[in-house]
Amino acid sequence: MEISEKNKIMLEKIEKLMSEIATLAAKNADEAEALRIKYLGKKGDITALMNDFRNVPAEQKREIGQKLNVLKTAAQDKINELKEAAEVQKNAGSSVDLTRTPYPISLGSRHPLTIVKNEIVDIFSRLGFTLAEGPEVEDDWHVYSSMNFADDHPARDMQDTFFVESHPDIILRSHTSSVQARVMEKTQPPIRVICPGRVYRNEAISARAHCFFHQVEGLYIDKNVSFTDLKQVLLLFAQEMFGPDTKIRLRPSYFPFTEPSAEMDISCHLCGGKGCSFCKHTGWVEILGCGMVDPAVLEANGIDSSIYTGYAFGMGIERITNLKYQVKDLRMFSENDIRFLDEFTSAN
């Protein structure tokens, strides 16, 4: 098919512009921008050709259109290349390293609860305990029934436990004892585990309480385990966590899953046991609950209580953190206030 004289002129212009673009040069970004306007601007040479393309006969549009697209792409690539080269040249004499991370860098810190949890886990790991974890969304059996909670126990009430509305047997765990149940049902003694994790209770949020908090529970089951073993382990923990001069005392208490049960106090490390406002002038501060595992719990989880005995203990990580750092408001732990978190940078 014969190409008209007008279209021949357009093809010649395309070839000429292709040659020009291949030899384009710019000393700086301004010159590169001027070239962009000259060729690709609204009144640019290539734009003018694109406008003339509408008059090309339909049978010749494909050939000429392809050449125009190649020309336009070549021009864009060349001008972008010139701009990048001009930017590199501009920064070549600068002392600024553009690949360097911005400075100063604001370094983060571990959350105080994480710091204390890691310290607790580390202490018990050195005493032979291994780490065990479980799901936060649990079933009633692992949270309550396997732990010897009666069907009418107050902890099952809606005031304490978060239930999944469509599945009343599914709840948010209210303690990490559910992890102990999962370990016991799958493992035969000897068992020695430490179980940290987040738990949930349906409580009003205040400076002293929250609807979620963190616990660490421990479990040791073997032959001939005694309350003396429990007391010695807890004494070692208290002295590792709060100092070698720390004393402990155990007071009788009640928990469904342990018998006998006790609550443990430590001597106030602020006043040395002499009495102050922090310990309410008693010289003692409560930190955890503990006791010998109830035989009914062992049997419910497939462990022969005539052969094995064990002890368990549990503590709130927030409680231990408060004692170490005197944080008076529990809400501070979950508000993500950078000023508060920055206070613990040196504790990492």
* Long-range contacts of the stretch 6-11 (C-beta < 8 A, 24+): 6/55, 7/56, 7/57, 7/60, 7/64, 10/49, 10/52, 10/53, 10/56, 10/64, 11/64, 11/67
Distance of alpha carbon 264 from the chain centroid = 31
Residue 54: the pLDDT is 78
User: What per-residue confidence (pLDDT) applies to 45?
Assistant: 86
The C-alpha R_g of the chain, in whole angstroms, comes to 37
Among candidate residues 31, 27, 25, 30, the one with its CA nearest the CA of residue 78: 25
Three-state secondary-structure class, residue 253: strand
Rounded CA separation 217/194 (Å): 6
Q: Phi then psi for 194, rounded to 5 degrees?
A: -120, 130
What does the domain layout of the chain look like in residue ranges?
5-92, 112-347
**Rounded to a whole number, what is the largest CA-CA distance in the chain?**
111
150, two tokens = 């009666």
pTM of the complete model: 0.66
Burial 300-327 (b: 16+ CB within 10 A, else e): bbebebeebbbbbbbbbbbbbbbbbeeb
Which H/E stretch holds residue 220? strand 212-222
Instruction: Yes or no: say if 143 and 171 are a contact pair by the CB < 8 Å rule.
Output: yes
- C-beta of residue 112 within 8 angstroms of C-beta of residue 327: yes
> Which pair of tokens denotes residue 324?
């170490």
- How many residues does this entry show for the chain? 348
Other Cβ atoms closer than 10 A to 72: 18
One CATH from 3.30.930.10, 3.40.50.740, 3.50.50.60, 3.90.1300.10 for 112-347 = 3.30.930.10
- Residue 155: other Cβ atoms inside 10 A: 16
Residue 82 CA, chain-centre distance (Å), reads 45
Q: What is the mean pLDDT of each run of 10 residues along the chain (348 residues)?
A: 68 86 86 86 84 78 83 88 81 65 71 92 95 93 90 74 83 91 93 94 81 93 95 95 91 93 89 76 90 95 95 93 83 83 71
pLDDT attached to residue 220: 97
Alpha helix positions (H), the chain: 5-22, 29-40, 45-52, 58-92, 112-126, 140-143, 177-186, 227-242, 295-300, 317-325, 338-342
User: What residues pair up with 251 in beta bridges, in sequence order?
Assistant: 263
* Position 236, amino acid: L
Q: What is the pLDDT of residue 1?
A: 47
What residues are paired with 197 via a beta bridge? 215
